[in-house]
């Protein structure tokens, strides 16, 4: 994949109902399969990392994901193919310096 043709995107995936860790793992597998299929179709997209959001009971309420992709359409297509929500998609800005 050519890094020069991609942009960094941050995706909030909010879930209407909490899911289990097992369901989260299954969603991760679907995501990986969708990424592979998109790349096989010539789409420049790569998963970087994800943070898991939980409620006070430890149930998964969503994720906050970092991807590199050729455009926002690639991010949306991945979400559709993987059956994942894409509640909000933003381009990643410069990280803040801090403590």
* CA-wise closest residue to 5 among 46, 44, 36, 48: 44
Euclidean distance between CA atoms 78 and 14, whole angstroms:
16
3-state SS, residue 97:
coil
End-to-end CA distance of the chain: 34
pTM of structure: 0.88
pLDDT in tens, the chain (99 residues): 444 589 999 999 999 999 999 999 999 999 999 999 999 999 999 999 999 999 999 999 999 999 999 999 999 999 999 999 999 999 999 888 888
Euclidean distance between CA atoms 78 and 75, whole angstroms:
5
């Amino acid at each position: 994949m050519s890094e020069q043709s991609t942009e960094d995107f941050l995706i909030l995936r909010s879930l209407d109902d909490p899911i289990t860790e097992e369901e989260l793992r299954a969603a991760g597998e679907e995501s990986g399969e969708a990424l592979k299929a998109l790349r096989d179709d010539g789409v420049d997209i790569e998963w970087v990392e994800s943070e898991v959001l939980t409620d006070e009971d430890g149930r998964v309420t969503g994720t906050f994901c970092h991807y590199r992709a050729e455009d926002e359409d690639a991010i949306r297509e991945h979400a559709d193919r993987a059956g994942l929500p894409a509640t909000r998609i933003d381009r990643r800005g410069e990280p803040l310096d801090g403590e």
